[in-house]
Amino acid sequence: MEVSKFFAQWHPVLVHFPIAFLYFAVFLDLFGYLTKNTKAAWAGLVLTAAGTVGLMMAFITGNYAEIVAAHQQIQQKPIGDHEAWATATSWTFILLTGWRSYLKPETPSYRKNMPMFILAAALTLGCLTVTGYKGGRLVYDHAAGVNIATSALPKPATPQDLANLSLMNSQDELDYSGMMHHVFGWLTLGLALWQGYQHFNLPGQEKARALGPIMLTGGGIFLMICSDWDAWPLGDTLPITDPEVLFHKILATIMIFFGIGMNLARRRPKGEVNSLQSHLLAILALVGGGMLFTHVHTGAPFSTTAMGVYVQHFVVGCLALACGGVKMMETVKPEYKKLWDRCWIVLLIIIAINLIWYVEGFPWYIHNEA
C-alpha cells in the first residue's frame, strides 16, 4: 500500500492544473479564431496538449487514490461514477488533442474545421466539470482521503464493497495478460527495426515502407480478436462495455485506422510520405500512450497486482508520450530529422524491452510494502 499512498497523495494536487489549462486553451482557441491571432492559436494548441498530459497524470494518481479510498472502506459506487466520467473525459481530450495537432493557423483546414473543434472541446469541458464535481462529492459526502476512523465514515462501505477488496486475478488471467504484453513487445521491437532500416537508408526502401502499416494493421486485428480471453469474440463473460475490454477494442481500432492511414500516405511523393507518416506515428504514440494512463484492471481493481500494473502503465505511458513528442518535433524541426529518428528508435526499443519483460504486478525495479 505504500506505493498507492505515495501516488494517491498527489491526486488532489494535480487535478487543478488540467482543469485550468484546458479551460484557458479553449478560450484561447476561440479568441485566436475570432481575431485571427496566430499567437493565441498556437498558445491554445500548447495548452491543449499540456492540459491533456495533466489529465493523464491526474488519472494515474487517481487510480491509486481509488485503491486507497476503497481500502479506507469508502463506498465504491461513487468512486466508480467518478472514474467513469474521468475515463470518458480523458479519452475524448486525448482524441481532441490529436485532432488539434492538425489544425494549425497556416493550414487551409484551420478556418473550416476549427469551429467544430471548439464546439467539441467546449462540450468536453462540461464532462470535465462533472468529473471534478463528482470527485469533490467523494470528499465532502463520503470523506474519501480524509484521515478519520472507519467507524466515523458518513456512508460506510456495503458488504459487496468489502468483498470486492479481496478479489484476485486467476493465474490463467495473469498468464494470458503477460503473453499479450510480450506479443506486443515483439511487435514494437519490429517497428523499431523497421524505422532503423529506413533511417540507415538500406536497399528496398519502397517495399520497406509497407511493412510498418502492415504490422500496425495486423497487430490491431490480432488485438481486436485476442485482447481478452473472457470477452468477445473469444468468450462472453465480460461485456464490451467493461472499461478494460473497451480500452483494448478502442486501441485495436486505433491501430487498424493508423495502419491504413500510413499505407495510404506512402503512396504520396517521398517528402510528403515522411511528413505524413511522422505525424501519424506521433499521434498514434500520443493517443496510445495517453490512453494507457487511463487503463484500469476491472477483474481485481484493488489488489496488489493492480497497484503494480499501474506503475508499469505509468512508465510505458511516459515513454510513449516521449515517442510522440519526438515525432511531433520532427514535424516542427524537420532539419533535425536524423536526431529525432534516432531518439524515436531508442525509445521504441526501451518500450519493447519493458513489454517483453512485463509481468502482471510490480516491475522488478519497484519494491512494494503490501
- The mean pLDDT values, 10 residues at a time, for the chain of 370 residues are 89 97 98 97 96 97 96 96 97 95 90 97 98 97 92 93 94 94 97 92 86 95 95 89 93 95 77 72 91 88 93 95 90 87 95 95 74
Structure confidence at residue 369 (pLDDT): 55
Inside any domain, residue 365: no
195 plus 109 within the same structural domain: no
Inside any domain, residue 317: yes
131 plus 180 within the same structural domain: no
Q: Angle at CA 98, nearest 5°, toward 97 and 102?
A: 105
Q: Which domain holds residue 244?
A: 171-356
187 plus 159 within the same structural domain: no
| Cα–Cα nearest to 358, from 231, 181, 104, 173 | 181
Inside any domain, residue 362: no
159 plus 175 within the same structural domain: no
28 plus 142 within the same structural domain: yes
Q: What is the pLDDT of residues 46-66, one digit of tens each?
A: 999 999 999 999 999 999 999
270 plus 180 within the same structural domain: yes
Inside any domain, residue 364: no
Cell of 368: 512494494
Structure confidence at residue 332 (pLDDT): 80
Inside any domain, residue 368: no
Inside any domain, residue 361: no
| Cα–Cα nearest to 51, from 117, 107, 103, 124 | 124
**Domain termination residue (choose one: 109, 137, 164):** 164
103 plus 176 within the same structural domain: no
Structure confidence at residue 272 (pLDDT): 64
110 plus 175 within the same structural domain: no
| Cα–Cα nearest to 64, from 134, 142, 132, 6 | 6
210 plus 97 within the same structural domain: no
Scanning 227-360, the segments in alpha helix (DSSP H) are 243-265, 270-293, 304-332, 337-356
136 plus 226 within the same structural domain: no
Q: CB–CB of 155/142 below 8 Å? A: yes
**Quick count: other Cβ atoms within 10 Å of Cβ 69?**
27
216 plus 331 within the same structural domain: yes
**Domain termination residue (choose one: 164, 198, 217):** 164
Structure confidence at residue 204 (pLDDT): 87
216/224 Cα distance (integer angstroms) = 12
Is the Cα torsion angle 113, 115, 118, 123 positive or negative in sign?
negative
Name 74's bridge partners: 156
Structure confidence at residue 366 (pLDDT): 78
The separation between the first and the last C-alpha atoms of the chain, rounded to the nearest angstrom, is 5
140/154 Cα distance (integer angstroms) = 10
Number of compact structural domains in the chain: 2
**Domain termination residue (choose one: 133, 164, 195):** 164
114 plus 192 within the same structural domain: no
